[in-house]
A and B are shown apart, each in its own frame.
Chain A
Amino acid sequence: MNNQSSRWIDLSFRFGAILLAFLFTVAVLIFSGAPPLEAFGQLALGAFGSVENFANVMVAWVPLLLATAGLLVTFAAGLWNIGMEGQITLGAIFATGVLRMMQDSGLPPLVMILVAIVAGAIGGALWAGLAGALKTFGGVNEIFGGLGLDFVATAITLWLIFGPWKRPGIGSMSGTVPFPREMWMPMLPHLRLSLWALAIGILGTIAVYFLLQGTYFGLRLKAVGRNRRAANLAGIPTSTYMMNAFLICGLFAGVAGAIQVTSVYHRLIPSISSNYGWLGLLVAMLINFQPVWAAPVSLFFAALNIGSIQLPIVLKLDSSLSGVLQGALVLAFLMMEGARQKFSKGQGEARS
């Protein structure tokens, strides 16, 4: 089998996976009595039908991109950072906290926003560092540690919203008191999109790409992820590298949380992480941990999320359709990847 034809086989398996995911989603739609074509049409319209809609896609893209980029670092080190949601939440909490402190300080808004983002990064890194320390020094599997810390983060958010940071009078699920407009990240006129946030998301992804593909740090991280014992014997301080992977990932998550506060919700709300942590895990798995694909695939996922918002209004369909399609895509890809490996093995055997 030459390279050319194996590439075509790879591509056809990928394409098959997309087809499979769509077929599955169509089946779900038919089962729930909705016209599939119209549903997909509405999905596309909802994402790309107007400038506002597309701007909203970009708004969703930024935190998802940051979450995916961060996760690529922990995955490179062979770590399953399930605690992304909590790390995004802590980023949001830290950002809200410093903004509240600076609110009446008279500092220029630019400084306040920058400080809030740095604080968010610290908060996320702190929470990830906790999961990392539990893993590296406490022997707690990072999946359990991260999951536990997710719940703790949610509890802290609710406590803050209904306790110390509650709205005057009575706490509300709608979150803390919104910040005044001048403390928002600068937006494009008439849109919810901030070019700053977009720039942070894109720059972050590029940084991760170069970190993993081009630096000694990235190569060593990969070595730690693939064989920790051999990496240690090769002279790599594995605990430090694992901790660093957690910290970097948490930093990205925290920035995502801070952006949610400074440029999207302008306050702390209970579901501030908006499932971007989980979605980032899906994207990372779907792109097989290849940094180059992080941007386009997370953009597609963001489009699905935004596109599905109007489904309940137009088609009386639940907006979770986007989740169905995203989940089906990841499962179909993983399945087809397995099938492809089996197939190419069979090819190799049949050849001579």
Chain B
Amino acid sequence: MKVELRDIHKSFGPVHANDGITLDIPAGTIQGLLGENGAGKSTLMKSLSGFMEPDSGQILLEGKPVSMKSPADAIAHGVGMLHQDPLDFPPMQVIDNFLIGSHQSLLPQRGKARRALRDLGDQFGFSLDPNAYVDTLTVGERQQLEILRLLWLGVRAMILDEPTTGISAPQRQKLFQTLKRLAEEGRTIIFVSHKLEEVEGLCHRVAVLREGRLVGETDAPYTTSKLVAMMFGKEVRLIPRTPGYGDTPVLQLEGVSIEDPRLNIEDVNLEVREGEVVGLAGMEGSGQRLFLQTCAGLVRPVAGKLLLDGEDMTGRHYHDFKSRGCAFMPASRLEEGLIPGMTLTEHFILTRPAKGLFVNWEKGRASAREGIAEFKVRGEPYSTVESLSGGNQQRALLALLRSNLRLLLMEQPTRGLDMESAIFTWEKLKERCLEGTAVVFVSSDLEELLHYSDRVLVFFAGKVSQPLESHDVSVERLGELIGGVGLDQPSGSAQ
């Protein structure tokens, strides 16, 4: 389906998120959409998929102007969107999720839907059990379900927002094959991403947004440096590796076993030293999150000992961990990290030590201004956190972490950040390492894992690898390990 966007404008208060964007996408094309955080990609795609209406401008599908008032409206027009975090119904079965949004009859026709799901699944090589509950699926499988659902609803243009976040390498490969096939069948695919190599490998053409404007369009083949220059207005380089850490152990795990209804992690031995960075690799749901939560005291291990600065903390509450200088930074910013409806100032007051009974608002505002300036958060002390863009929410989370931490546990520290923000984040983290903070983080970005970690632990279905010295491991080898190749030996004791 031919998709045309004509002079799209959209503002949120003073922010001009889309400033006159015009983009034509011919049918059968995989169109890449690049841009740093807050460049206006999501806003543009939300307008196209009916989540919001643009302030002005026109959307034409197959040459006809359309007005889409809701996502259901957009789907009726043949435009569907796959969101970064799957918008599905985890406590429901696959088949019911599949049926939701279809309005073919008063009563759900499960039999028909079951056949359709199986046929579509066979076509694309996705095997989804219709009776499984969605919360038992991996992010990749949930994505596959969503793709099939949209196809069943007759979508002819599909928008994918950062679709490779949190899915495994084979799942990504399969996704790319599927997208290519859908394009061959004449569908239009819009692929929103930060990851240059993915866009380069997949997309027929690329459009780059910066500060709400379309700053460039180019067809394959691409020049990476040119794309980077378009995205950021300048070239950026990774910060150099800074190896070296102290000898004092901060976190020690001795024979720790963790159980979860879906996962068992057994007998992990690990020592994380002052200033060290340990990366946790693995497909989403392989046990890294559980492991990280255990290190924070949010999950109780069923066996083994956990020591923080030499003190036995096994079975202690998260708040005890916290008071001993351990911090946990979750991946979902607005669900677990920040408090929607409250301002940045209120967040700073809540996370800084409190003196006395009454709040010192003046001091709170001052520390908010300080944090905002240091971490370059685009917002004001009185901004509510939900009014910030995703990247700025991440910066706010980093700014809220207290100083002089002993152990910093992070989930996806740079997820959803553009390259410049990611580098900035790691500069800040490395500063902390120099002060002696040990960092343990989960990431699905292999290059991030290898570049910034001193050692990497690989998780596969609850199995944990030996700690690997990250400079000895190639991206390819790490990818294999994450896929479970060569991860047979049980995790032994390791230094």
Q: Which residues of A are interface residues toward B (Cβ below 8 A)?
A: 210, 214-220, 222-223, 226-227, 229-237, 348-352
Q: Are A233 and B358 in contact (CB under 8 A)?
A: no
On chain A, the residues within 8 Å of B339 by CB distance are: 223, 226-227, 230-231, 234
Q: Please report the C-alpha to C-alpha distance between residue A219 and residue B334 in the assembled complex, in whole angstroms.
A: 18
Q: Which residues of B are interface residues toward A (Cβ below 8 A)?
A: 9, 11-13, 16, 53, 55-56, 318-319, 322-323, 328, 330, 334-342, 346, 349-351, 354, 356-359
Q: Please report the C-alpha to C-alpha distance between residue A222 and residue B384 in the assembled complex, in whole angstroms.
A: 14
Q: Are B55 and A215 in contact (CB under 8 A)?
A: no
Q: Contacts A214-B358, A219-B350; is A233 near B342 (CB within 8 Å)?
A: no
Q: Please report the C-alpha to C-alpha distance between residue A351 and residue B335 in the assembled complex, in whole angstroms.
A: 31
Q: Contacts A229-B335, A230-B335, A234-B350; is A216 near B359 (CB within 8 Å)?
A: yes
On chain A, the residues within 8 Å of B330 by CB distance are: 233
Q: Please report the C-alpha to C-alpha distance between residue A231 and residue B330 in the assembled complex, in whole angstroms.
A: 12
Q: Are A219 and B359 in contact (CB under 8 A)?
A: yes
Q: Are B349 and A219 in contact (CB under 8 A)?
A: yes
Q: Are B318 and A232 in contact (CB under 8 A)?
A: yes
Given A230-B337, A236-B350, 10 other A-B residues pairs in contact with their CB atoms under 8 A: A215-B359, A217-B357, A220-B350, A226-B341, A230-B336, A231-B339, A235-B319, A348-B55, A349-B55, A352-B16
On chain A, the residues within 8 Å of B11 by CB distance are: 348, 351-352
Q: Please report the C-alpha to C-alpha distance between residue A216 and residue B335 in the assembled complex, in whole angstroms.
A: 22
Q: Are B350 and A351 in contact (CB under 8 A)?
A: no
On chain A, the residues within 8 Å of B55 by CB distance are: 348-352
On chain B, the residues within 8 Å of A350 by CB distance are: 55
- Please name the 9 residue pairs, one residue from A and one from B, whose CB atoms are nearest each other, closest first: A227-B339, A216-B354, A352-B55, A226-B341, A226-B339, A229-B336, A352-B11, A235-B322, A230-B339
Q: Please report the C-alpha to C-alpha distance between residue A215 and residue B328 in the assembled complex, in whole angstroms.
A: 26
On chain A, the residues within 8 Å of B356 by CB distance are: 216
On chain A, the residues within 8 Å of B337 by CB distance are: 230, 233
Choice from A215, A219, A348, A351 contacting B346 with Cβ under 8 Å: A219
CB distance from A243 to the nearest CB of B (A): 16
On chain A, the residues within 8 Å of B12 by CB distance are: 348
On chain B, the residues within 8 Å of A226 by CB distance are: 339-342
On chain B, the residues within 8 Å of A216 by CB distance are: 349, 354, 356-359
User: Can you offer 20 A-B residue contacts whose CB atoms are under 8 A?
Assistant: A210-B358, A214-B358, A216-B354, A218-B359, A219-B359, A229-B336, A230-B336, A230-B338, A231-B339, A233-B318, A233-B336, A233-B337, A234-B339, A234-B350, A235-B319, A235-B322, A235-B351, A348-B12, A348-B55, A352-B56
CB distance from B313 to the nearest CB of A (A): 16
Choice from B319, B336, B354, B359 contacting A214 with Cβ under 8 Å: B359
Q: Please report the C-alpha to C-alpha distance between residue A230 and residue B328 in the assembled complex, in whole angstroms.
A: 11
On chain A, the residues within 8 Å of B323 by CB distance are: 235
Q: Please report the C-alpha to C-alpha distance between residue A227 and residue B337 in the assembled complex, in whole angstroms.
A: 9
CB distance from B339 to the nearest CB of A (A): 4
CB distance from B343 to the nearest CB of A (A): 11
Most buried by A among B12, B16, B335, B336: B336
Q: Please report the C-alpha to C-alpha distance between residue A101 and residue B9 in the assembled complex, in whole angstroms.
A: 74
Chain A residue nearest in CB terms to B319: A235
On chain A, the residues within 8 Å of B359 by CB distance are: 214-216, 218-219
Chain B residue nearest in CB terms to A217: B357
On chain B, the residues within 8 Å of A223 by CB distance are: 339, 342, 346, 350
On chain A, the residues within 8 Å of B358 by CB distance are: 210, 214-216
CB distance from A198 to the nearest CB of B (A): 27
CB distance from A242 to the nearest CB of B (A): 15
Most buried by B among A220, A227, A237: A227
Chain A residue nearest in CB terms to B19: A352
Q: Please report the C-alpha to C-alpha distance between residue A226 and residue B11 in the assembled complex, in whole angstroms.
A: 27
CB distance from B440 to the nearest CB of A (A): 16
Q: Please report the C-alpha to C-alpha distance between residue A235 and residue B330 in the assembled complex, in whole angstroms.
A: 13
Q: Please report the C-alpha to C-alpha distance between residue A227 and residue B336 in the assembled complex, in whole angstroms.
A: 8
Chain A residue nearest in CB terms to B402: A235
Chain B residue nearest in CB terms to A220: B350
Chain A residue nearest in CB terms to B358: A214
On chain A, the residues within 8 Å of B338 by CB distance are: 227, 230
On chain B, the residues within 8 Å of A232 by CB distance are: 318
Chain A residue nearest in CB terms to B296: A233
On chain B, the residues within 8 Å of A233 by CB distance are: 318, 328, 330, 336-337
On chain B, the residues within 8 Å of A348 by CB distance are: 11-13, 55
CB distance from B70 to the nearest CB of A (A): 14
On chain A, the residues within 8 Å of B350 by CB distance are: 219-220, 223, 234, 236
Chain A residue nearest in CB terms to B16: A352
CB distance from A233 to the nearest CB of B (A): 6
Most buried by A among B318, B323, B340, B342: B342
Q: Please report the C-alpha to C-alpha distance between residue A348 and residue B13 in the assembled complex, in whole angstroms.
A: 7
Q: Please report the C-alpha to C-alpha distance between residue A229 and residue B339 in the assembled complex, in whole angstroms.
A: 9
On chain B, the residues within 8 Å of A237 by CB distance are: 319
Chain A residue nearest in CB terms to B356: A216
On chain A, the residues within 8 Å of B13 by CB distance are: 348
CB distance from B95 to the nearest CB of A (A): 29
On chain A, the residues within 8 Å of B9 by CB distance are: 352
CB distance from A109 to the nearest CB of B (A): 34
On chain B, the residues within 8 Å of A214 by CB distance are: 358-359
Choice from B53, B341, B351 contacting A234 with Cβ under 8 Å: B351
On chain B, the residues within 8 Å of A210 by CB distance are: 358
CB distance from A218 to the nearest CB of B (A): 8
On chain A, the residues within 8 Å of B334 by CB distance are: 227
On chain B, the residues within 8 Å of A234 by CB distance are: 339, 350-351
Chain A residue nearest in CB terms to B52: A349
Q: Please report the C-alpha to C-alpha distance between residue A123 and residue B74 in the assembled complex, in whole angstroms.
A: 57
Q: Contacts A214-B358, A215-B358; is A222 near B56 (CB within 8 Å)?
A: no
Q: Please report the C-alpha to C-alpha distance between residue A214 and residue B361 in the assembled complex, in whole angstroms.
A: 9
On chain A, the residues within 8 Å of B56 by CB distance are: 352
CB distance from B288 to the nearest CB of A (A): 18
Q: Please report the C-alpha to C-alpha distance between residue A210 and residue B358 in the assembled complex, in whole angstroms.
A: 9
Q: Please report the C-alpha to C-alpha distance between residue A217 and residue B349 in the assembled complex, in whole angstroms.
A: 12
Q: Please report the C-alpha to C-alpha distance between residue A351 and residue B292 in the assembled complex, in whole angstroms.
A: 47
Chain A residue nearest in CB terms to B337: A230
